[in-house]
Amino acid sequence: MQSKSRAVPRKSAKAAPSVKKRLTAKAKQSAKPKVRVRRHRKQGSLDMAFLLLVLILCAFGLLMVFSASYAYASYYIGNSFHYIQKQAIFAAMGLVAMLVLSRIPYYIYKNISSFIYLFALFLMLLVVIVNGGGAGRFINIAGTTFQPSELMKFAIIVIFADLIGKNYSKMDTLRYGIIPFLVALIPVILILVVFQRHLSATIIICAIGAVMMFVGGMKLRYFMPFIPVGVLVVLGVIMVKGVDYWGERISGWMDPFSDVSNTTWQTVQSLVAIGSGGLMGLGLGNSRQKYLYLPEPQNDFIFAIVCEELGLIGAILVIVLFALLVYRGFSIANKAPNKFAAMLVVGIVFQIALQAILNIGVVCNAIPNTGISLPFFSYGGTALMVQMAEMGVVLNVSRYTMIEDQEGGELR
């Protein structure tokens, strides 16, 4: 019996190239690395390195506040523990605020950014009203003085981060990259300069805003409008304070020994304290300049006492701690899940870095005296509480990180 052979259909010449193309496309697709899209993913744990640095700086600051202030407090108040007791209370409240805010999702601030800004602006206007239009900076709340300009620093960071997050793709335009930020910044500058005459807060807030806008993608040419704004601010401060006042500041900075008995007394005593410390310092608690030579040593010039008691080694230790805090903060910002979170951390960390740099510069007479405190060290309840609360916000962002694909993929 003969078996019938089946006819095998021949593929058409047109079909062959189509199959080849599909095979080539599949080969190319398999050759490409798998890409995992960035997602808003909660990791759940705090950045322990950042938390540890904050706690070390806070504890170190409390120790130096007590060492720097007890002689001054004993003479003027009659209680050597006056300043450390108040600062310790504010530190405890700040620690609680930090831990609470570290549990509150950061994106809530995005939803209430306008409220935070308007509330801080209202408090600053309230200062003007309470002081009858004078150059006051504090208001009394439940028997405790509060400085709204410290809250305004955080408010500017939040509102700028929100604007950058919304308009990131259009930050290279004038409409979205410059105008909304000026609308938020100009009222604050007017209140600080004209009414409160608070130059240090003005410098810090303007610098924070400029850096956040630049990091957020604003073109360099759009910084040109800030030049006349800066000139107007300087002229306004000069008109309010007086030309003679700023002339004395500049001349005292250039030659600190020109008027030792009057305008440059604090600067000279600071330099004496730094020089007396040498390499290893006189020992913790053994400062001589804090015995009524250096005015209010627990405030803006506390770094001079650090240098005198702990020497160059102690000064470098403080600087290294701040540098590590800033580095770790920017690392958190780099891993943030979105632009708002990243800019929020950048603004907060830059504020701490700028204040530390300016304060140390003033204490060393590298720049003119502007009255900027040293974060976590200088005596001041409002500043310490707000700074600790800001650290809580950064810690919450650190809970949300982007994780690379386990199969070797890339983030985008």
Q: Is the pTM of this model over 0.75?
A: yes
Find the helix or strand (DSSP H, E) in which 318 lies. helix 302-334
Question: Which pLDDT score is estimated for 395?
Answer: 95
Q: Which residue has the higher pLDDT, 14 or 299?
A: 299
The 10s digit of each residue's pLDDT in 124-172 is 888 888 776 556 677 777 667 788 888 999 999 999 999 999 888 888 8
Q: Regarding predicted confidence, which is higher, 57 or 247?
A: 57
Q: What is the pLDDT of residue 284?
A: 93
> What pLDDT shows up at residue 190?
78
Q: 363 in the Ramachandran plot: left (φ > 0), alpha (ψ -120 to 50) or beta?
A: alpha
Q: Write the pLDDT tens digit of every residue in 176-191.
A: 888 888 888 888 887 7
Confidence of residue 412 (pLDDT cuts 50, 70, 90): very low
pLDDT of 40: 45
Give the rounded percent of residues in the chain with a pLDDT score beyond 70: 79
Which residues on adjacent β-strands are paired with residue 410? 35
For residue 37, the model assigns a pLDDT of 45
Task: Check whether 35 has a pLDDT greater than 50.
Answer: no
pLDDT value, residue 1? 45
The pLDDT > 90 percentage for the chain reads 50
Q: Which pLDDT belongs to residue 15?
A: 47
- pLDDT tens-digit series, residues 286-328: 999 999 899 989 999 999 999 999 999 999 999 999 999 999 9
Q: What is the pLDDT of residue 407?
A: 39
Q: How far is CA 105 from CA 84, 120, 400, in A?
A: 33, 21, 9
Both tokens of residue 288? 């001589």
Kindly report the backbone phi and psi dihedral angles of residue 144, in degrees, each rounded to the nearest multiple of 5, phi listed first.
-120, 135
Structure tokens at 315: 């000064």
Distance CA 389, CA 399 (A): 16
Q: What is the pLDDT of residue 382?
A: 86
* CB-based burial label for 257 (10 Å; 0-12, 13-18, 19+): exposed
Q: Is the pLDDT of residue 111 over 50?
A: yes
Higher local confidence (pLDDT), 15 or 173: 173
Which of the four pLDDT bands, split at 50, 70 and 90, describes residue 13? very low
- What pLDDT sits at residue 36? 46
Distance from C-alpha of 91 to C-alpha of 387, rounded to nearest angstrom: 10
| pLDDT at 409 (0 to 100) | 41
Q: Mind listing the pLDDT tens digit for each residue in 74-91?
A: 999 999 999 999 999 999
Q: Supply the pLDDT for residue 192.
A: 78
- Arithmetic mean of pLDDT over the chain: 82
Q: If pLDDT is split at 50, 70 and 90, which confidence band does 233 have?
A: low
342-380 pLDDT, tens digit each: 999 999 999 999 999 999 999 999 988 878 899 999 998
Please tell me the distance from the alpha carbon of residue 33 to that of residue 405, in angstroms, as a whole number: 11
Is pLDDT larger for residue 17 or for residue 239? 239
State the residue for tokens 């204040």: 355
Least confident of 204-208, 252-256, 274-278: 252-256
For helices 381-398 and 302-334, what crossing angle results, to 10°? 20
Q: What is the mean pLDDT of residues 89-112?
A: 94
